[in-house]
């Protein structure tokens, strides 16, 4: 056999080739052009060598593979965009051919006449799972580390290397559609129950089990290539099909509102593909994949939810020249809901935590929060009692500040009161070593003002978590005027250590995320005042792609908190800083009707006892004269929500609060779910073009108010035909280095 860069091939005495995928210099295997060329050659050599009876493919790493390297797709699309300007038909044909290479390679493998078995030893995603499905059998290790999925839908694509055709030919059609359109992870047991893998074996016997299948006479023919093959879910045109397809289309529409072209393409691929022979079905899939690759949604989602997200998670915004910190102990001040959550995620990362509150019972209550979260995981089969005890052993609940001695960092999460924060800062700094970092988890108070309480403002930084801490993946790192590079670097190191995504934000009222969220809520208040029916407001927001309606979101964060923020803003900036009609609405909700939100069971919604679901408060429609819903343009409502948020994101960039468009985009999606199909708040603008966006904003401004006035930055970008990723190129420094 030939020598390969990314694979090692060894043939044993039984004539079985073990193909071990182990890319040099990478922590995880991914499909690149070179990997596919080498695998293509291996398939040819296995087929041509009469001494080889079959092949097992596995990984030399802890994981099997993360799938395709999406930067490869980005490059492919970049070439396509340039070539399209010269010859559109030729460029599309080239894209079609390139998009089909992986699919053709896997088809070549499964029709090679030799049996192939995939030995899945760890995470197996996307194209790697499609490779496994093209093998004649699949064996997965019996381990919690093994997760299989076709998650392409999450970045605006779909499985385009045979996934939409092999899954519904192995599994029941309904289960296949659910898996393909959700991108859900499958455990070995779940995958076997769906007939997507052949067997589950002990991790140390995995390759042996795979080889045994070949020794046992595994047929080198896929079920769909045999005469008389029948679909597990029955034909499309059958009673079963008639009961499946109409509801499936309706459910997709309900879940996506037509915002995700790739999700619709999956249904079309499966439906059409199951009506024709397998090779024709693959060609149908290839055509749809080529079409989806050209969509704005795919381009923006790949950039933000794969490329940018990975770059930020790797510390793209980390100051250079500061040694990386390996944390030995973290202090958390305040054992309330936020502090308890911070302690939990820190202990989950294996870092010892000192959790401090005013007295031992309050601190112990905070620690109990972690116990409760672990109990929930145990109940779901995602953790063990032993893991719970190990995690709890890392958390020391106390009222003694002396135990902060030796902490690398302290995260303050006490009540949003400057005086209280001042007191705990002084107590902590009296104990902390000089090199330690003090991080304040605040959502409203400027970091620069809080840093005046510190004797070492260079070591003082903001670190804004979102609630609930264990579920929310974003953390804002806020720079005060005197925050040093070491504090920023350590804050980023900490956020990465607890497996969350950091974005760096300069100091301002509301920072970045809250400024955008408040605009979202504010527009819903304005709609209520205009007499838009509350149900239309909530539904229009969801139709626009937001995960939670703005009225429901206000309830979750608390209506009386919205009132407090408005009052504080008026105290600080004057009455003109707050819309007085909206202020009156919130005052009416809180002061007149006692509706504080979910926390007291009544806000914009009523919250009856379970199992009854929440419902909009009927009294809302009595606050303002209602418009005729038939005369309200839902498309305009959708635009108002997305445009008001995007405008605020643009203002934040103009003011220099956020300086990297990757952070603005990723932050808007991870923090409050800004329509993921757009790629984020700035990509929403880039996707339609600044010129078209400014025109839309001006039209909305004429009809609905000054909140839609485009900032000078956007007007200038529209005139110059610029995008945010051109104007604020996050890669310009790298380009200079390369030069």
Q: Is residue 428 located within the same domain as residue 546?
A: no
pLDDT tens sequence across 127-143: 999 999 999 999 999 99
48 part of a folded domain: yes
The phi, psi pair for 176, rounded to 5°, reads -65, -45
Q: What is the pLDDT of residue 1?
A: 67
Q: Which of 579, 588, 578, 582 is nearest to 622 (CA)?
A: 588
Question: Per-residue pLDDT averaged across 80-95, rounded?
Answer: 89
Note if the bond before 611 is cis, omega within 30 degrees: yes
Q: Is residue 494 located within the same domain as residue 641?
A: no
Q: What is the pLDDT of residue 382?
A: 86
Question: Per-residue pLDDT averaged across 97-123, rounded?
Answer: 96
Question: Per-residue pLDDT averaged across 72-90, rounded?
Answer: 86
List of residues 6+ apart from 147 with CB closer than 8 A:
123, 124, 125, 185, 186, 187
Q: Is residue 593 located within the same domain as residue 563?
A: yes
Which CATH number belongs to the domain containing residue 572 in this structure? 1.10.1040.50
pLDDT tens sequence across 59-70: 999 999 999 888
Q: What band does 734 get if pLDDT is binned at 50, 70 and 90?
A: low
E strands, 84-156, where? 116-120, 124-125, 137-141, 148-149
Q: Is residue 504 located within the same domain as residue 535?
A: no
Question: Per-residue pLDDT averaged across 473-479, rounded?
Answer: 95
- Catalytic residue selected from 136, 369, 464, 593: 464
Q: What is the pLDDT of residue 739?
A: 43
300 part of a folded domain: no
Q: Which of 564, 555, 557 is nearest to 534 (CA)?
A: 555
Kindly report the three-state secondary structure assignment for every residue of 625-655. Answer: CCCCHHHCCHHHHHHHHHHHHHHHHHHHHHC
Q: Is residue 592 located within the same domain as residue 673?
A: yes
Strand order in the sheet with 474-479: 395-398, 353-356, 330-333, 409-412, 437-440, 460-465, 474-479, 501-506
What is the rounded CA–CA span in Å between residue 353 and residue 330?
Answer: 5
Buried-state track 560-598, b at ≥16 Cβ within 10 A, e below 16: bbbbebbeebeeeeeeeebbeebbebbeebbeeeebbbb
Helix and strand numbers (H, E) in the chain are: 32, 18
Which CATH number belongs to the domain containing residue 274 in this structure? 3.90.226.10
Tokens of 570: 């008026």
Q: Is the pLDDT of residue 562 over 80?
A: yes
Tokens of 682: 């700035």
In whole angstroms, what separates CA 553 from the centre of its chain? 19
User: Do residues 424 and 414 lie in contact, with contact meaning Cβ atoms separated by under 8 Å?
Assistant: yes
What is the rounded CA–CA span in Å between residue 679 and residue 57?
Answer: 35
What are 19's strand-pairing partners? 9, 57
What is the enclosing helix (H) or strand (E) of 724?
helix 724-727
DSSP secondary structure letters along 579-609: -HHHHHHHHIIIIIT---BGGGTBSSEE-PS
309 part of a folded domain: no
pLDDT tens sequence across 279-320: 999 999 999 999 999 999 999 999 999 999 999 999 999 999
Note if the bond before 468 is cis, omega within 30 degrees: yes
Q: What is the pLDDT of residue 735?
A: 54
Q: What is the pLDDT of residue 82?
A: 86
Which CATH number belongs to the domain containing residue 447 in this structure? 3.40.50.720
The radius of gyration of the chain from alpha carbons, rounded to an integer in Å, stands at 28
Q: Is the pLDDT of residue 559 over 90?
A: yes
Q: In percent, how much of the chain has pLDDT > 70?
A: 99
The phi, psi pair for 331, rounded to 5°, reads -105, 140
Question: Per-residue pLDDT averaged across 476-489, rounded?
Answer: 95
Q: What is the pLDDT of residue 313?
A: 94
List of residues 6+ apart from 732 with CB closer than 8 A:
none
Domain, as residue range, for 431:
330-508
Give the pairing type, strands 615-616 and 605-606. antiparallel
Q: Is residue 489 located within the same domain as residue 565?
A: no
Boundary-marking domain end, from 508, 535, 557: 508
Q: What is the pLDDT of residue 243?
A: 92
Q: Is residue 487 located within the same domain as residue 518?
A: no
User: Do residues 665 and 304 lie in contact, with contact meaning Cβ atoms separated by under 8 Å?
Assistant: yes
> CB 611: neighbour CB atoms within 10 A?
5
What are 605's strand-pairing partners? 616
Q: Is residue 468 located within the same domain as residue 533?
A: no
399 part of a folded domain: yes
Q: Is the pLDDT of residue 736 over 80?
A: no
Q: Is residue 113 located within the same domain as residue 192?
A: yes
To the question of pTM greater than 0.95 for the whole model, the response is no
What are 506's strand-pairing partners? 479
What is the rounded CA–CA span in Å between residue 425 and residue 413?
Answer: 11
Helix, strand or coil for residue 12? Answer: coil
> CB 411: neighbour CB atoms within 10 A?
25
Q: Is the pLDDT of residue 20 over 50?
A: yes
The structural domain count of the chain equals 3
pLDDT tens sequence across 690-718: 999 999 999 999 999 999 999 999 999 99
Boundary-marking domain end, from 453, 484, 508: 508
Q: Which of 443, 436, 406 is nearest to 421 (CA)?
A: 443
The phi, psi pair for 44, rounded to 5°, reads -60, -45
Q: Is the pLDDT of residue 520 over 80?
A: yes
User: Do residues 425 and 459 lie in contact, with contact meaning Cβ atoms separated by under 8 Å?
Assistant: no
What is the rounded CA–CA span in Å between residue 411 and residue 332?
Answer: 5
> CB 409: neighbour CB atoms within 10 A?
25
Boundary-marking domain end, from 508, 526, 554: 508
Question: Per-residue pLDDT averaged across 604-632, rounded?
Answer: 94
pLDDT tens sequence across 255-279: 999 999 999 999 999 999 999 999 9
What is the rounded CA–CA span in Å between residue 102 and residue 84?
Answer: 23
pLDDT tens sequence across 583-616: 999 999 999 999 999 989 999 999 998 888 999 9
Q: Is residue 74 located within the same domain as residue 222?
A: yes
Q: Is the pLDDT of residue 638 over 50?
A: yes
315 part of a folded domain: no
Question: Per-residue pLDDT averaged across 86-96, rounded?
Answer: 90
230 part of a folded domain: yes
Q: Is residue 374 located within the same domain as residue 230?
A: no
Q: Is the pLDDT of residue 733 over 80?
A: no
Q: How much is the mean pLDDT over the chain? A: 94
308 part of a folded domain: no
Give the pairing type, strands 353-356 and 199-201. unpaired
Q: What is the pLDDT of residue 738?
A: 44
Q: What is the pLDDT of residue 611?
A: 87
Q: Is residue 704 located within the same domain as residue 579?
A: yes
pLDDT tens sequence across 309-357: 999 999 999 999 999 999 999 999 999 999 999 999 999 999 999 999 9
What is the rounded CA–CA span in Å between residue 515 and residue 727?
Answer: 22
User: Do residues 294 and 282 lie in contact, with contact meaning Cβ atoms separated by under 8 Å?
Assistant: no
Q: Which of 171, 180, 186 is nearest to 288 (CA)?
A: 180
Question: Is residue 369 annotated as a catalytic residue, yes or no?
Answer: no
pLDDT tens sequence across 216-251: 999 999 999 999 999 999 999 999 899 999 999 999
Question: Per-residue pLDDT averaged across 675-685, rounded?
Answer: 97
437 part of a folded domain: yes
User: Do residues 344 and 377 lie in contact, with contact meaning Cβ atoms separated by under 8 Å?
Assistant: no
């Amino acid at each position: 056999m030939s020598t390969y860069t990314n694979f090692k091939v060894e043939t044993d005495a039984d004539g079985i080739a073990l193909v071990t995928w182990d890319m040099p210099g990478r922590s995880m295997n991914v499909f690149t052009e070179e990997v596919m060329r080498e695998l293509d050659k291996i398939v040819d050599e296995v087929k041509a060598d009469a001494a080889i009876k079959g092949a097992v493919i596995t990984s030399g790493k802890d994981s099997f593979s993360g799938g395709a390297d999406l930067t490869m797709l980005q490059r492919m699309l970049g070439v396509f965009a340039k070539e399209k300007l010269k010859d559109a038909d030729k460029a599309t044909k080239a894209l079609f051919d390139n998009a089909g290479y992986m699919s053709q390679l896997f088809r070549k493998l499964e029709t090679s006449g030799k049996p192939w078995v995939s030995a899945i030893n760890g995470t197996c995603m996307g194209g790697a799972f499609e490779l496994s499905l093209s093998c004649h059998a699949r064996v997965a290790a019996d381990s919690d580390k093994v997760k299989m999925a076709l998650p392409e839908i999450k970045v605006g694509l779909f499985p385009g290397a045979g996934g939409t055709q092999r899954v519904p030919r192995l599994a029941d059609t309904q289960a296949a559609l659910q898996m393909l359109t959700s991108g859900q992870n499958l455990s070995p047991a779940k995958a076997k129950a769906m007939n997507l893998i052949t067997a589950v074996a002990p991790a140390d016997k995995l390759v042996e089990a795979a080889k045994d299948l070949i020794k046992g006479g595994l047929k080198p023919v896929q079920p769909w290539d045999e005469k008389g093959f029948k679909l597990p879910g029955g034909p499309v045109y059958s009673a079963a099909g008639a009961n499946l397809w109409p509801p499936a289309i309706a459910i997709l529409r309900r879940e996506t509102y037509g915002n995700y072209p790739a999700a619709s393409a999956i249904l079309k691929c499966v439906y059409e593909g199951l009506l024709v022979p397998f090779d024709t079905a693959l060609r149908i899939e290839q055509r749809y994949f080529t079409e989806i690759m050209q969509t704005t949604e795919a381009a923006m989602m790949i950039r933000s939810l794969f490329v940018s997200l990975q770059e930020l998670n790797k510390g793209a915004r980390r100051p250079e020249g500061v040694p990386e910190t390996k944390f030995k102990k973290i202090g958390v001040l305040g054992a309330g809901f936020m502090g308890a959550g911070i302690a939990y995620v820190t202990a989950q990362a294996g870092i010892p935590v000192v959790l401090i509150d005013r007295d031992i019972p309050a601190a112990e209550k905070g620690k109990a929060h972690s116990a409760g979260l672990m109990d929930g995981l145990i109940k779901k089969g995602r953790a063990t009692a032993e893991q719970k005890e190990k995690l709890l052993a890392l958390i020391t609940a106390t009222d003694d500040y002396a135990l902060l001695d030796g902490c690398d960092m302290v995260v303050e999460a006490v009540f949003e009161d400057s005086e209280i924060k001042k007191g705990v800062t002084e107590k902590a700094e009296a104990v902390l070593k000089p090199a330690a970092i003090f991080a304040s988890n605040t959502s409203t108070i400027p970091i620069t003002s809080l840093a005046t309480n510190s004797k070492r403002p260079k070591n003082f930084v903001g670190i804004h978590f979102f609630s609930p801490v264990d579920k929310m993946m974003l953390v804002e790192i806020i720079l005060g005027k005197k925050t040093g590079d070491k504090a920023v670097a350590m804050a980023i190191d900490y956020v990465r250590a607890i497996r969350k995504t950091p974005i760096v934000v300069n100091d301002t009222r509301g920072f970045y995320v809250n400024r955008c969220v408040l605009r979202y809520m504010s527009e819903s208040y304005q709609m209520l005042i205009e007499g838009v029916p509350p149900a239309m407001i909530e539904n229009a927001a969801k139709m626009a792609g937001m995960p939670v309606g703005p009225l429901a979101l206000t309830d979750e964060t608390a209506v009386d908190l919205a009132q407090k923020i408005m009052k504080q803003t008026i105290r600080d900036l004057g009455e003109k800083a707050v819309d007085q009609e909206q202020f009156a609405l919130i005052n009416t909700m809180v002061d007149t009707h006692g509706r504080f939100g979910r926390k007291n069971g009544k806000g914009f919604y009523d919250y009856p006892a379970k199992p009854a679901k929440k419902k909009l408060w009927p009294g809302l429609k009595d606050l303002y004269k209602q418009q005729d819903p038939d005369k309200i343009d839902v498309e305009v409502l959708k635009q108002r929500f997305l445009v008001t948020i995007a405008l605020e994101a643009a203002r934040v960039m103009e003011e220099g609060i956020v300086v990297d468009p990757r952070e603005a985009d990723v932050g808007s999606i991870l923090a409050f779910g800004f329509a993921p199909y757009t790629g984020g708040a700035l990509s929403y603008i880039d996707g339609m073009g600044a010129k078209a966006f400014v025109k839309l904003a001006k039209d909305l401004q004429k009809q609905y108010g000054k909140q839609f006035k485009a900032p000078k930055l956007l007007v200038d970008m529209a005139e110059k035909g610029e995008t945010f990723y051109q104007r604020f190129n996050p890669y310009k420094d790298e380009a200079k280095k390369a030069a």
